[in-house]
Every structure is written in C-alpha cells, then in structure tokens.
A and B are shown apart, each in its own frame.
Chain A
Amino acid sequence: MSVIPLEHILILASILFVIGFVGVIVRKNTLYILMSLEVMLNAVGVAFIGAGSVWQQADGQVMFILILTLAAAEVAVGLALLLQMQTRFKSLDIDLLSKLKG
C-alpha cells in the first residue's frame, strides 16, 4: 500500500495532461506542440506508475516503459518532420500545414 492516495496521483496526472493538451492547442510553433506532447505522455506515465504502486503490480512500470519507447520513436519522427518543415517553409508555424483542407 502506497502512502500517497491514488486520487492525488491521478489529479497530478490529469493536471499535467491538461497542461500538455492546452499547450498543443494554443501554441502555433510545432516545436512547442511536440514538447507539449511529451508533457502529455509523461502525465499518462504518472497515472500508470501510480496505479501500479497502489496495487503493488509491476505492470504499471511495464506500461511506462512502453510509453517511453513510444515517446522516443515519436520524437525522432516528429523532429525529422520538423526539420523538413523548416527547410520547406522556413517556418515552424503548424497552421501553414493546412493543405489537407477539404
């Protein structure tokens, strides 16, 4: 039994998640969006580890490791795309990437 109540851990995770999400929505700079995504992924990690420690199961940490892997791959691809964007548009404004509009 962990000393810290699960509710508080989950609240922390939610706050971090929402901060990250707000960052994704409000920032126009793609680099900041990527960083906000990291914050969001991290928040999910907090939730998993917290749950794992409350129930004394290692699964939570396993999930965290998987999330870590995901984050690493995502950052690699995301940053590479960012470099492309920089060479093509000379800008990192995400709103420039609106060619997909109907």
Chain B
Amino acid sequence: MDESMTTLILTLLPLYPLVSFLLLISLATRLSWTVAASISVGAMVLSALSSMLVINQLSVDTPIITSQLWTWFTLSPSEEINISFYLDALSAVMIGVVTGVGLLIHIFAAAYMKEDENFTRFMAYMNLFIVAMLLLVLADNLVLLYLGWEGVGLCSFLLIGFWYQEKANVLAARKAFIVTRVGDTAMAIGLFMLFKETGLLTIADINQSANISWNVGDTQPYWIALLLLGGAVGKSAQLPLQTWLPDAMAGPTPVSALIHAATMVTAGVYLIARMHGVFLLAPEVMGYVAWVGALTLLLAGGAALVQTDIKRVLAYSTMSQIGYMMLSLGAGAFSAGVFHLMTHAFFKALLFLTAGAIILALHHQQNLYKMGGLLKRLPFEASLFTIGLVCLMALPGSSGFFSKEAIIGQLWSSETAGPTLWWCAIAGALLTSIYSCRLFFLAFLGSSRFSVPLQSSSSKLLQLSLLVLAILSVFGGLLANLLDINLAPVFAKAAIIDTSTQPDWLHTVAIATPFIGIVYAWIYYANYRVSNHKTLVESHSVLTRFCQQGLGFDCLYHYLLVKPYCLLAKFNRRDIFDQLIMLNAWYVTLCHDIFVSSQHGKLRWYAAAIGLVTLLFLLILNIDGFGSEASL
C-alpha cells in the first residue's frame, strides 16, 4: 500500500461514524432497528478495519503517519492550527482500543437497546462519541484535541442523561458535565499558558522543543503541567474530581462500558502520555500525578468494597484502575501505563457488558444483594464475568497481570514514585482482589435471592461481542512486547527505570497479593458464599455508609461548593450587570412604545401616511429637479 492510500484511510477513519451519526440523527425514528443498527455498526466496522490497516502500516521505518486536511485558523505567523491527524504508536494504541472495543460495544448496544424507542438517537450519540474520541486521540495539535475532548464530554452528558425522563439520570448527567468542566477549564488555561510561553500548540513540536526552551524544574512547565493534570483529573475521574463517575452509571449499560470504562475516562491518561515532554520537565507534577493515582486507587478500592449496586462496584474499580495508570505515568513508566490502559479497556468493557447482560436477565435488577447463585443459572455470562474479574485481579496469565505487573515492577525504583507508592499499589491490588471476590460471591455463589424468572438473552450479537471481548481480555497480555517496542520511540525522552537494583522479593509479593486477597475474602465473606438465606442483611454501620457514599466527597462538595454557590446565585439574582443590560432593554421598550402608537391598525391613517410621504418625496425631487426641468 502506498503512502497516499494510507493517508486517505487515516483521513476517512473518523468520517464513517460521523456520517453515520448525521444520518441517524437526521432520520431519527424513521429508521427501523435493522437499518439503524446496520448503519451505526457498519460505520464502526469500517472504522475498525481502517484503523487496523493504518496501524499495520506503522513500522520502525515509518513511525508516524500524518494527514493534513485543512488549516483551521492561524494563531500567529508561525503557528497554524490545522485539522490534521497524527498517528504514532501511542495514538495507534488508542484508535485500536477506541474503534475495536467501540465496535464490540456497538454490536452489544444494538442488541441491548433493541427495545428502546429512541434506539436511533442512542446509536447516533454512540457514533458521535467515537468521532469525538478519534479526534481527541488523532489530533496533531492541542486545539483539535480540545475539540475532541469537549465533544467527548458532550456525548457523555447526552448519554448519561439518555433516559431523560428520570430526574436522577438528568442530575447525574448534569453533575458529570459540570464536574468535568472544572477540569476542562484548568486544561484550557493550561493551553493558553502553553501558547503564551512557547507560541506552539502542535503536540509534536511542543514535545520536541520543550526541553530546549526550559530546564527541568522551571516554573512554566510546572504550572502548565499542573493545569493539564487538572484537565486529566477531571476527565479520568481522579481525586478530587472523581465524584461524577459513580453517578454516571445512571446511563444505559453500553454507555457505561464505552465511555466510563473503556475509552473516555482514559482520555486523561492519554493526555498526560501525549504531553509527556512537558510533564518530564516538571518532576514535582509527575510526583503529584503518581500521588493522585495512588490515592484514587486506594479510596476507590475502599469505596468499591461496600457498594451494593453491581455497576457502581465496577465504576469504582474503573476509578482505581485508572489510578494505576496515573500512578504509572507519574512514575515515568509511560508505556506500562498505556499498556494497562489497553488491557483495562478490554476487560472492563467485558465486565460492564456482561453485567449489562446479567442486569437484563434479571429485569433491571442491579442490587448485588438481590442476586446470588447466578453461576448455575447463567453459566455463559457468569463464566465471562469471571474471566473479566480474573483480569481485574491480575491473576497470573491474564492480560491484567501483565500490565499491572509492568506497572508495579517499575514503581519501586522510579525517581518520582518510590517504595511508598509501591506499597500503595500493592494495597490497591489487595483491595481489588477483595472487592472482586465479594462481587463474585454475592452475584454468582450462594442461593438465589431474586424472585423474578430469569430472562436469558438469546441474542447472538450480544454473545458474539462478549466472546470477542473475553478472548481479547485473556490474550491481550501477549501484546506486551509488541507494544513496548513500538511505544519506546514515542517515550524516548523518558528515563528508563533501572529495575536491576530492586530487591528480589518485590515480584513475589506482587504476584502473591491477589491470592492473599482471595483467601481473605474467602474467609471474611463466607456467609455470602454459602448463604442459604433468601435475603442478606446489608451492613448499616457508619463506616459502611460513609464508604458507600463515595467517602463523603459528594457531601463535602455539596456543602463546601454547591450550597454556597447556589446561595450566592440566589442572592445575586438581580445582579448589577444585569441591571445595566436592562437599561438597554428599557430604552428599547421606550422606543417600542413610541413606535407602537403609530401601529394603531387604522387603515385610513396608513393610507394618509403613505400619501404624505409620497408628497414629501415629490417635493424633495422637485426641489432638486426644477433647474434641470427648466433647461429641457
């Protein structure tokens, strides 16, 4: 395949879902399920195929493929903002994940949402999301990236609030939108600073020239990196902007899978990996990144321990897994973080989709305490879910094992991380295995605690997408070497972490940790496992409730930020600037009143006015024309 062909394929890559989105949103309910599903899934198939093709074209000789479409606008004589795509190993991983996992989730969603009356709108939003995400990862400059970034936020809002008739969903959508907006604002300011300091917004140029214009530890990269981190924290649901993610589970399950597990929340991780040139110049910020990741990892793990809603458990586990990625990026182990991003996308999509299938089978029952014994009743879903959990716990052999070990293995001797964070990661792994086991026991073991008849999904589409995801989850770890080799040139500037001086027992501990968690859970949650009761009593202790409600962050923000803000808004309802503007309105009203009196509707007066004006014109013309007429 020649070069222009590759460029063309890359150019068209985000176009298919865009066309599909436009088609679906404009034709809306006129389309039948078959047509709408084939359009949206077909577009995704095309996208996935093209991304496979272009990824294949990447090699050591051609590490970068670019495709410039047109100049968006010109910021300064030297800096043009182009609509152009930039594909290197890092964005290749991302488009692989976005289109691949996206395709599978689209297939699943087509089956899952079949009965919904707004099916077409749903698929249209899903397509739009893919477009935005592809723009985000393929952007060659930060402005285009920001466009995709905001587009992703918009789609997230639309999809969380998809069932907008229910108030909780709308509130969750609003919360997600506003909270991520906080991060986005920080990021926008970061971009402004970046442009002011360097005059550049093209990513490759920034990464190249960053260490020419600055030294390690300068204040500018420190602030820029910190602000970019703010954006990443918001989008990736890390401390302190993590509160939106659990609520976002209000959306349909495929949305949770696509947006809140597999792709969108990883945008923050991608941003940091993409801008590593700046981050490497600010070691303190790298430290912050690591600490943010570690704290989120632990807190989310703790919260996941006590959730009763199956999707919320998975949501918190997503937060904690992204914490791992952040930790890894902060430690300077970029390719390990990206690798974990990929494997996590596989198994978390699998977990969410299987959970969706289970929820569907149980007639939209999401409460874990009302499940139980599903291993025998839904063997297909249960075994797939187990595969996902095994990957999540990182048991040896699974894809999660490879990626998580790659992260943990580099933490100890990293300059910006160190033993403390290593222990945090181990504790996180322990928590992960405990809550995974709890989830497994509650849902699949013990006696059945539901009264409804099971509605086993027979949809072949649904099962197909789940199976492919399961295969990816199990064997995704095999891509480790491939990824490492290809990502190395991208992160060439990152210092290679020397792991040779690490104590030998680190690996043993890391591998053993999940098993310790399993053993602990086996004993501690024994009554979930062997329960013969028809009902299980939920714990109502203060600590449990505290953890259930997201460790009090919601409450804290509510009293610290939301309430005072609402109060201020109420207090300043007729604010002074408004009054100034109202002066304008008053003036307009006055003029309106004057002129409206001439609009009395009396036809004869109108006629008289026309006559008068005609007379006036004749007069004026005559005054002007007398001389010339006389000369005739």
One of B596, B604, B608, B611 near A102 (C-beta < 8 A):
B596
Complex Cα distance, B471 from A2, in Å, reads 104
Residues in B whose Cβ lies below 8 Å from that of A28: 604
Residues of B within 8 A of A27 (CB): 604
B600 touches A98 (CB 8 A): yes
Near A by CB (< 8 A), chain B positions 589-606 give 595-604
Contact A101 B604 (CB under 8 A): no
B560 at the interface (CB under 8 A from A): no
Q: Are B604 and A24 in contact (CB under 8 A)?
A: yes
- CB contact under 8 A between A97 and B601, given known A102-B595, A102-B596: yes
B599 touches A97 (CB 8 A): no
Residues of B within 8 A of A97 (CB): 601, 603
Asked if residues A101 and B607 are in contact (CB atoms below 8 Å), the reply is: no
From A24, A98, A102, give the contact of B607 (CB < 8 A): A24
B601 touches A101 (CB 8 A): yes
Provide the residues of chain B in CB contact with A25, threshold 8 Å.
604, 607-608, 611
Q: In the complex, what distance in Å separates the CA atom of A102 from the CA atom of B589?
A: 13
Of the listed residues B595, B597, B608, the one surrounded by the most CB atoms of chain A closer than 10 A to its CB is B608
CB pair A94–B611 under 8 Å, yes or no, is: no
What CA separation (Å) do A98 and B598 show in the bound complex? 12
Does B600 contact A101, Cβ atoms closer than 8 Å? yes
Residues of B within 8 A of A102 (CB): 595-601
- Give Cα distance in the complex from A94 to B604, angstroms: 8
Number of residues in B with C-beta < 8 Å to the partner?
13
A33 contact set on B, CB distance < 8 A: 604
Whether B601 pairs with A99 at a CB distance below 8 angstroms is: yes
Residues on A with C-beta less than 8 A from B607 are 21, 24-25
- Which chain A positions have C-beta within 8 A of B604? 24-28, 33, 94-95
User: A94 and B603: CB pair below 8 A?
Assistant: yes
Q: How far is the CB of B628 from chain A (nearest CB, A)?
A: 18
| Nearest chain B residue, comparing its CB with the CB of A24 | B607
CB under 8 Å from chain B, chain A span 8-64:
21, 24-28, 33
- A73 at interface (Cβ–Cβ under 8 A)? no
Q: Any chain B CB within 8 A of the CB of A1? A: no
Q: Which of A68-98 contact B (CB under 8 A)?
A: 94-95, 97-98
The closest CB in chain A to the CB of B597 belongs to A102
Q: Nearest CB to that of B604 among chain A residues? A: A25
The residue on B at minimum CB distance from A99 is B601
* Cα–Cα, bound, A26→B611 (Å): 13
Query: How many Å lie between the Cα of A102 and that of B611 in the bound state?
Result: 21
Complex interface: chain A residues within 8 A of B597 (CB): 102
Any B CB within 8 A of the CB of A100: yes
A9 and B169 CA atoms in complex are apart in Å by 81
Task: List B contacts of A95 (CB < 8 A).
Answer: 602-604
Contact of A21 among B596, B599, B600, B611 (CB under 8 A): B611
Nearest-neighbor residue (CB-CB) of B605 within chain A: A25
- Beyond contacts A25-B604, A94-B604: 7 other A-B pairs, Cβ-Cβ < 8 A, are A24-B607, A33-B604, A95-B603, A95-B604, A98-B600, A99-B601, A102-B595
Identify the A interface with B (CB < 8 A).
21, 24-28, 33, 94-95, 97-102
**Which 5 A-B residue pairs are closest in the complex by CB-CB distance?**
A98-B601, A102-B599, A101-B601, A102-B596, A100-B601
A-B contact pairs, 19 of them (CB 8 A): A21-B607, A21-B611, A24-B604, A25-B604, A25-B607, A25-B608, A25-B611, A27-B604, A94-B602, A94-B604, A98-B600, A98-B601, A98-B602, A98-B603, A99-B601, A100-B599, A101-B600, A101-B601, A102-B595
